A = this chain, B = another copy of it.
């Protein structure tokens, strides 16, 4: 499937699907540039979308007039898997292998083999590995292969050490932000979402990780330091796959975390640096514990 293909049109397909959802809401579509901004794509792509919608008799299209003819049905949508970017496909395949047992530290990674297995070109795999290397899980040998460093206890400890350093500093910066800063409104919004989730935790516990990420990113942004903000990508990636892998006690864990977040938010709103520090430390400690207990360590930690 798909060999020899130069470039998939997933941007178009994804935007098309999103545009279909817009159709429910209006009787006619806005101008091409406006649609482009709305969907986050260029006008070229917008025009391809409109052309297809006309073909499938979803709309009539004549210059400025784009009249909706009917509501979209499930069959109008492109299949989900065709809307993924190649980078996402490669990342998922790679992480599946990495988290599967048998991915020992020190194991070497073969670009060609990975590319063949996933069914993509080597260039895309190379670029993925280069991007991925900043997560500290793989390392390149000059003129040679990549080496897997492994999702080990040592990795988790190094990661959380930096995370704690950065978040404590960000939280302090957050508390020191002037009262008229828009972050306080954002924080209030997040607080409401937390309270709502806390009330319905029994059924909605799996929605926590998305809220968790938004909350921590808001705090990190207060540091106004690109290295701190960017580092949250590493944390988010690890936690994303970690939670996908380890579902044990998910409900309990998340319930505890929501409570900690609410205390943390309370501390931030008090703008008392001592309280902020304490609440932040407490939450980070339990987050680290959660991560650590999920990593089985059957080998001695390797030196250097």
Contact = CB atoms under 8 A, between A and B. Distances in A.
Contact of A225 (B149, B158, B169, B224): B158
B225 A161 contact: yes
Interface stretch (A25-33, A123-131, A271-279): A123-131
Contacts of A155: 226
A230 interface: yes
A241 B169 CA distance: 29
Interface residues on A, range: 20 to 34
Contacts of A127: 126-127, 130
Q: Is the interface of A mostly helix, strand, loop or mixed?
A: helix
A175 interface: no
A159 to B, nearest CB: 7
Contacts of A136: 226-227, 230
Interface string A39-60: 0110000000000000000000
A101 interface: no
Nearest to A131: B130
Interface string A10-28: 0100000000000000000
A162 interface: yes
B162 A228 contact: yes
A134 interface: yes
A61 to B, nearest CB: 24
Contacts of A227: 136, 158-159, 161-162, 231, 234
Contacts of A40: 142
Contacts of A134: 134, 230
Contact of A162 (B224, B225, B234, B304): B225
A229 to B, nearest CB: 9
B165 A169 contact: yes
A143 interface: yes
A11 B224 contact: no
Nearest to A303: B224
A222 B123 CA distance: 36
Given A126-B127, A162-B225, 12 more contacts: A11-B143, A40-B142, A41-B143, A123-B123, A136-B230, A149-B226, A158-B225, A158-B227, A161-B225, A161-B227, A165-B169, A227-B234
8 smallest CB-CB distances across A and B, nearest first, come from: A158-B225, A136-B226, A162-B227, A130-B130, A134-B134, A158-B226, A130-B131, A161-B225
30 contacts: A11-B143, A40-B142, A41-B143, A123-B123, A126-B127, A127-B127, A127-B130, A130-B130, A130-B131, A134-B134, A134-B230, A136-B226, A136-B227, A136-B230, A149-B226, A155-B226, A158-B224, A158-B225, A158-B226, A158-B227, A161-B225, A161-B227, A162-B225, A162-B227, A162-B228, A165-B165, A165-B169, A224-B304, A227-B231, A227-B234
